[in-house]
Every structure is written in C-alpha cells, then in structure tokens.
Amino acid sequence: MAASGNRAELPVASLRTAVDQIAAWVREADGSALGEALIQIRETGIDRLEAVFAEGVRRFDKSGEYRADGALSVIAWLRWRCKLSGGAAAERVTIARQLEQLPKTEAAFARGDLGYQHVATMARAAEHVGAAAVRKEEAQLLKAAQTMDPGLFIGVAKSFEHRVDAAGALAEANHAYQRRYFHLGEPDDGLVRLDGVLDAEGGATLRTALSGLMKPIKDDDRTYGQRCADALVELGRQAGRGRRNAAGDRRDGSGPRPQLVIRASLDTLAGLPGAPAGELEGGGTVPAETVQRHACDSAITRITGQGELEQERAQASRTIPPSTRRALESRDRHCVFPGCDRPPIWCDGHHLVWWTRGGATTLPNLALLCRIHHRMVHEDGWTLERHKDGRFVATPPRDIGARARSA
C-alpha cells in the first residue's frame, strides 16, 4: 500500500498533541472535572473518531486496497493491521456499510451526538431488516438512542425489528438459540474452566436465578466475579436439595440427593499428616480440610471409602436428622458467623467440635454456617465457638498475617 506520506503527518501530529493535552488534563482533574473529562474523551474523542473511522473503512472496503497488503477481506485486514478481534472488526464494517444509507444516523454520529454502541445497534438493525425500513423510523429511533443507555436501546431496536419483520426476528432468535452451548472443563491445576453462550431467554433466566444468590454479605471482600461464581455453585447445590417445604423436608418426601461424592481415607478424614487428598467422583481432588468440611453436613455430600465406614461405625452417624436440622434452623435462624445473615437454605450444619474429631451430631454441638463462612472455618483456619450466653464468637487463625502475606 502506498504510504500517504506528508499529507498524513500534520493531522496525526496534531492528534498526538491533543491526546497528550487531554492526558495532562485527566491527570490534573478530580471530582466533577474528572467526570467531565471522561465524558469529553468519549463524545469529542473516541465516538467522533469512530465515526471518521467508519467513513474511512467504507471507502477502503470499496476500493479493495486491503488486498495490496495480502488480506483477503477488509475484516481480515482490520484484524491484522488495526489489532481488532474478528467480532470488533465485523461490527465496524457493518457500521461503515449501513451508515451510508442512514444519513441522519451518520450525521449524529459524526457530531458526537450518538455513542458508538448505539450506532452499532442501529447498523445491526439495518442489516437485519434493511436500511429502508430503518430510514422510515430513523428519527424516532435516534431520539430513543439519545435518551437511553445502549442496553435499553438494544431492546427498543429489537422490538422495532420485530414490528417490521416478525418472521426475520423469529429466525434470528432461532438462529441465536441454535448457537447455545455450555462447556464445563476437566479439572486442571485445581480449577475447572467454564465457557458458553445462551440465547437471550436462557441468559435472562440464569441472570435472575443468580442475582438472588449473589448479594454481598457484611464486609464482603469477594469480587463481583467471585460472587457470580459462588452464586452459580450455590444454584447447583440448592437445585440438588430440591424444593423444601417450610419444615425443611423435600416435597416428594425423599431425602436429599448427594451432589458431591468424595472418596476419602480414614487418615484424610482425621487430618493426619501424610494422608492422601480426597478424590471427587467425576475427577479432581480436594484437600483434607475440604473433606472434613463436607463431613460436617452430609446433606449434599456422600463420603465413600474406608474412612466413612469405620467412622460411621465408631461414632454414630454424622448425618443431621431432619428433626435436628429443623431445631437448628429455628434456634440459629441464619448463619451464626458474626455479622452474617444468610438464610438457612445457604447454610450447612457445622459441628463445633468437628465430627471427624469425635463431635456429636446433637443440637448443642451444631451451628448454621453459610458456605463461605463454613469454608473459612475449615479451610482458612478460623475458630468458631459458642459462649455460654449463646453468642457465637469467631477468632481468626493465628497465622492469618502469614496467610494474608502469602495471598
């Protein structure tokens, strides 16, 4: 491709200078001035430059000049030379091509009156139902775009597409549905990777289910992503427990199904040095502390192997009978960890003197602990005690400094 030479030098140099000046402004600004700087970066900078970029891409696409670089398509060229992902490159090409037929949108974009994501939604709508149909309602759509955030505007655009082309909207939804998948990887280095895509309805259903389970607790230091992950696992746990009635029994009268089967030796249950890890049915291993936590409350876990058999024989069942569980729920009402109010459905029945250390499965030795706090007691070394007045006191592990340092 021929270098455009000197003609480009001046504007690019001015742009650099302008960006340097903006950077200096942002560094100095705080409070509402910083907010104003961020708004201007998008409106006057990024969004308007995207509009210019779209116009350039349109001409570059038509000229076929990208072939001079050896690229087979303008999208391939954008990925390679402009460092965009395939999706981001395709979106810019859609905008470039469709905006030519949407003059009002193009003008608003060029003025900085429309954000990039709103424009992408307009262009996609034009691609789906034809630019002529969008042009008929362009003014109303632009009005909506200027008053709504991009997420809400997608809803308006989708409903417009449905009005003018119901069959097309259905075909698009069906196509999206066909692309759904979910992949749960094999454990690798103690982690299991998830990925997938859902259609809009599936996504909304899952989002609603998760949102009820991801409320932060007091002094919650989990990240948003960690709370999402915990909520997903919790959803799995609660699904396996089945619907319970007010008394905590499953409606179909059966006991809870174990969702996790752990094979562990007696040494692992007892936490002896040199004991092997617990093995999860379905792959992966867990440390002895995790096996001990699961041994605390059998509601969702079955521990198999010699350890289980001998321990059951020696110390009576670790299983909390439904009547004891009900009494525990009515005494504790929520997780007893100081400051936590997670309801019983989130909670395990923790043995204050661990079952693996001979603690009895009776009310005085039990306490409701939500999964996060139960984990802190077993895996992070916190101590939970019940004082004579019934108060629960949690003490951090003595080496918490060392743990925090190594974290």
Nearer to Zn ion, 48 or 371 (CB): 371
Helix, coil or strand: residue 310: helix
Least distance CB 169 / Zn ion (angstroms): 45
Closer of 146 and 395 to Zn ion (Cβ): 395
Spatial distance between the Cα atoms of 219 and 143, rounded to a whole number of angstroms = 43
Which x/- pattern over 292-311 shows residues binding Zn ion (rule: CB under 5 A)? ----x---------------
Please tell me the distance from the alpha carbon of residue 365 to that of residue 385, in angstroms, as a whole number: 10
Q: Is residue 376 a contact residue for Zn ion (CB under 5 A)?
A: no
Q: How far is the CB of 196 from Zn ion (least distance, A)?
A: 30
**Shortest Cβ 327–Zn ion spacing (Å):** 18
Bridging pattern class, strands 383-386 and 366-370: unpaired
Long-range contacts, 65-72 (Cβ 8 Å, 24+): 65/1, 68/1, 69/1
Binding segment (CB under 5 A) for Zn ion, from list 92-100, 146-154, 334-342, 384-392: 334-342
SS (H, E, C) 13-50: HHHHHHHHHHHHHHHHCCHHHHHHHHHHHHHHHHHHHH
Report whether 264 contacts 308 (CB < 8 A).
yes
Of the candidate spans 48-56, 117-125, 253-261, 342-350, the one that interacts with Zn ion by CB under 5 A turns out to be 342-350
CA–CA dist 356, 381 (Å, integer):
15
- The CA dihedral of 340, 344, 346, 347, to the nearest 10 degrees, is 80
Residue 173 or residue 260: which is nearer to Zn ion going by CB? 260
Residue with Cβ nearer Zn ion (202 or 271): 271
The answer to whether residue 335 forms part of the interface with Zn ion (CB under 5 A) is yes
| Candidate segments 37-45, 174-182, 206-214, 366-374, binder of Zn ion by CB under 5 A | 366-374
Q: Could you tell me where the beta strands, DSSP code E, fall in 281-353?
A: 285-286, 301-304, 347-351
Smallest distance from Zn ion to CB 298, Å: 11
Do residues 292 and 380 lie in contact, with contact meaning Cβ atoms separated by under 8 Å? no
Query: Which of the ranges 9-17, 35-43, 199-207, 336-344 carries the binding residues for Zn ion, by CB under 5 A?
Result: 336-344
**Is position 78 an interface residue for Zn ion (rule: CB under 5 A)?**
no
Least distance to Zn ion from the beta carbon of 338, Å? 9
Among 78, 120, 142, 340, binds Zn ion (CB under 5 A): 340
Q: How far is the CB of 273 from Zn ion (least distance, A)?
A: 21
Angle of CA points 52, 55, 60, to nearest 5°: 120
Residue 51: what residue type? Answer: A
Tokens standing for 354? 């661990």
User: Is residue 373 within the footprint of Zn ion (CB under 5 A)?
Assistant: yes
Q: What stretches of 209-269 adopt beta strand conformation (E)?
A: 260-263
Number of residues that bind Zn ion (CB under 5 A): 8
Provide the residue type at 311 as one letter.
Q
Give least dist CB 135 to Zn ion, A: 57
Say how far apart CA 337 and CA 227 lie, in whole Å: 18
Residue 77 or 392: which CB sits closer to Zn ion? Answer: 392
Going residue by residue from 20 to 39, which x/- string records binding to Zn ion, judged by CB under 5 A? --------------------
Q: Which of 370, 376, 384, 392 binds Zn ion (CB under 5 A)?
A: 370
Q: Does 116 bind Zn ion (CB under 5 A)?
A: no
Q: Does 58 bind Zn ion (CB under 5 A)?
A: no
The residues of the shown chain that bind Zn ion, judged by CB under 5 A, are 296, 335, 337, 340, 342, 350, 370, 373
